[in-house]
Amino acid sequence: MSIDSQAGRLPDEHSLANIPRLVSRYYSERPDPSDPGQQVAFGTSGHRGSSLKTSFNEWHILATTQAICEYREAQGVDGPLFIGMDTHALSEPAFCSALEVLAANGVDTRIDAGCEETGGEVGYTPTPAISNAILVYNQGRSGGLADGIVITPSHNPPGDGGFKYNPTNGGPADTNVTKWIQERANDLLAGGLEGVRRIGYAEALKASTTQRFDYIESYISGLDKVIDMAAIRDSGLRFGVDPLGGAGVHYWPRIAAKYDLPLEVISTTVDPTFRFMRVDWDGKIRMDCSSPYAMAGLIENKDRFDVSFACDTDHDRHGIVARSTGLLNPNHYLAVAIEYLFTHRPLWSDTAAIGKTLVSSSMIDYVAQGLGREVVEVPVGFKWFVDGLIDGSLGFGGEESAGASFLTLDGKPWSTDKDGIILGLLAAEITAVTGQDPGERYLALTERYGAPVYERIDAPANREQKAKLGKLSPDQVSADTLAGHRITRKLTEAPGNGAAIGGLKVVTEAGWFAARPSGTEDVYKIYAESFEGQAHLERIQQEAKALVDAVLAS
Active site residues: 154
Closest to 185 in 3D by CA, of 274, 295, 74, 60: 60
Sheet containing strand 147-151, edge to edge, reads: 42-43, 46-49, 161-166, 147-151, 81-85, 109-112, 210-213
State phi, psi for 222 to the nearest 5 degrees.
-100, 0
Chain centre distance of CA 328: 17
Q: If residue 264 lies in a helix (H) or strand (E), which one and from where to where?
A: strand 263-265
Q: State residue 69 phi and psi, 5-degree precision.
A: -60, -45
CB-CB contact of 469 with 492 (8 Å): no
Q: What distance in Å separates the CA atoms of residue 134 and residue 136, rounded to the nearest whole number?
A: 6
In whole angstroms, give the CA distance from residue 330 to residue 320. Answer: 8
Q: Which of 325, 289, 334, 329 is nearest to 307 (CA)?
A: 325
CB 239 within 8 A of CB 232: yes
The distance from CA 32 to its chain's CA centroid, rounded to whole angstroms, is 29
Angle, CA of 451, 454 and 455, to the nearest 5°: 155
Q: Tell me if residue 523 falls in helix, strand or coil.
A: strand
DSSP string computed for 34-49: T-GGGS--EETTEEEE
What are the distances in angstroms from CA 6 to CA 39, 100, 280? Answer: 34, 42, 8
Q: Of the candidates 89, 70, 75, 243, which has an alpha carbon nearest to the alpha carbon of residue 151?
A: 89
Phi, psi of 514 (to 5 degrees): -135, 140
Amino acid in position 142: S
Q: Are 295 and 240 in contact (CB under 8 A)?
A: no
Are the CB atoms for 392 and 407 separated by under 8 Å? yes
Residue type for 134, please? I
